[in-house]
Amino acid sequence: MSDTTPDRTTRHIPDRLQSPLSRALKSWEMLLLIVAVGIFILNALASPYFLDPWNLSDATFNFTEKAMIAFAMALLIISGEIDLSVGAIIALCSTAIGLAMTAGAQAPVLVLVGLGTGLACGAFNGVLVARFGLPSIVVTIGTMSLFRGISYIVLGDSAFTGYPAGFAWFGQGYVWWVITVELVIFALAALIFWLVLHRSNFGRMVYAIGNNATAARFSGIRVERVKFILFLLTGLMSGIAAICLTSRLGSTRPSIAAGFELEVVTIVVLGGVSILGGSGSIPGVVIAALVMGLVTFGLGLMNVPGIVMSIIMGLLLIGVIALPRLWTMLRRR
């Protein structure tokens, strides 16, 4: 929904800019990093099993798949759109991979099927939003129901199991020692999205569209095309996440990745991306993903059930946005 508060107070403009170092120290990313380190130390003190390298390696699975999507989602939200269908895209990709598997396909084909389905879903969202100018919230609520609905039609209450051994590498394989394949994909994705958002023309276009789409159009940016590419990217990353998740779980049910959209959006917002668009950074998202991973892992070690963790995620999502606003409101008084 758009910003509907009509009264805007004038912004305070300082006489002198802060030095880059003090700005970096006071940034949201730094605050997050401190929180992450704090949680890490708390976890280490709370549970003797936490500092085991293999446990930590297992803990990365808590966030790698979601964070891959979160990078693309960050760009999408910065540009002023949102995609709530990512969990459903994973379900559909996983179902397509399962169908290909039952047809006798081997790992390379399964990967292609996953990527292709993700791209197709992203393109479908992208066409509806960018080409027909429909609001992305409702479009992706619709496709969320449609994509997962197709999975339910195909699978009903059954499941695909018995993926070929070669396919297990993506979700269960190790590149070196405790470094998982998924962690490497996550790191690569972080690097690529950092380059795209912070070091390329395309990234500048994303910010420009998010801050003022009309001005962006007048400066010669093809707004629709950029938005379409962003939906395509979100679909692609969901496809990659679907490959990892399917490979890790070794089975596909239509309810796979249910509620992922909430956690992905939470990571993005926690990472300091403005939900109204126009600002945010990839390092913030990376640290937010680490925070989420550490929190869920720490709670898991303390035997907190999954649904209680989802309450904490919900509180985190609202709290992260509410607290800074409360703070400024109280300070203004």
Question: CB within 8 A of 144, min separation 6: which ones?
Answer: 84, 85, 87, 88, 261
The minimum distance between CB 178 and other proteins, in angstroms, equals 31
Binding mask 225-264 for other proteins (x = CB under 8 A): ----------------------------------x-xx--
Are 105 and 113 a contacting pair, CB within 8 Å?
Answer: yes
Instruction: Report the residue from 325, 331, 332, 333 that binds other proteins according to the rule CB under 8 A.
Output: 325
Tell me the C-alpha distance between 191 and 282, whole Å.
Answer: 9
- Residue found under tokens 């293999």: 54
Q: Which ranges in the chain belong to alpha helices (H)?
A: 20-25, 28-46, 53-59, 64-78, 86-102, 107-126, 136-155, 169-172, 181-199, 201-211, 213-218, 223-249, 260-270, 282-301, 306-332
Tell me the C-alpha distance between 73 and 275, whole Å.
Answer: 11
Which C-beta is closer to other proteins: that of 116 or that of 135? 135
Binding mask 71-110 for other proteins (x = CB under 8 A): -----------x----------------------------
Instruction: Report the residue from 20, 133, 162, 220 that binds other proteins according to the rule CB under 8 A.
Output: 133
Using CB under 8 A as the binding rule, whether residue 9 contacts other proteins is answered as no
Instruction: Report the residue from 44, 138, 192, 302 that binds other proteins according to the rule CB under 8 A.
Output: 138
Are 81 and 230 a contacting pair, CB within 8 Å?
Answer: yes
Tell me the C-alpha distance between 92 and 121, whole Å.
Answer: 9
Fill in the amino acid letter for 252: T
Q: Tell me, rounded to whole angstroms, the distance of Cα 194 from its chain centroid.
A: 14
Using CB under 8 A as the binding rule, whether residue 318 contacts other proteins is answered as yes
Binding mask 265-284 for other proteins (x = CB under 8 A): xx--x-----xx--------
Binding mask 289-308 for other proteins (x = CB under 8 A): ----------------x-xx
Binding footprint of other proteins, residue count (CB under 8 A)? 57
Tell me the C-alpha distance between 82 and 275, whole Å.
Answer: 9
Which C-beta is closer to other proteins: that of 60 or that of 143? 143
The minimum distance between CB 319 and other proteins, in angstroms, equals 9
Binding site for other proteins (CB under 8 A): 1-7, 82, 128, 132-135, 137-139, 141-150, 152-153, 156-157, 213-214, 217, 223, 259, 261-262, 265-266, 269, 275-276, 305, 307-308, 310-311, 313-315, 317-318, 321-322, 325-326, 329
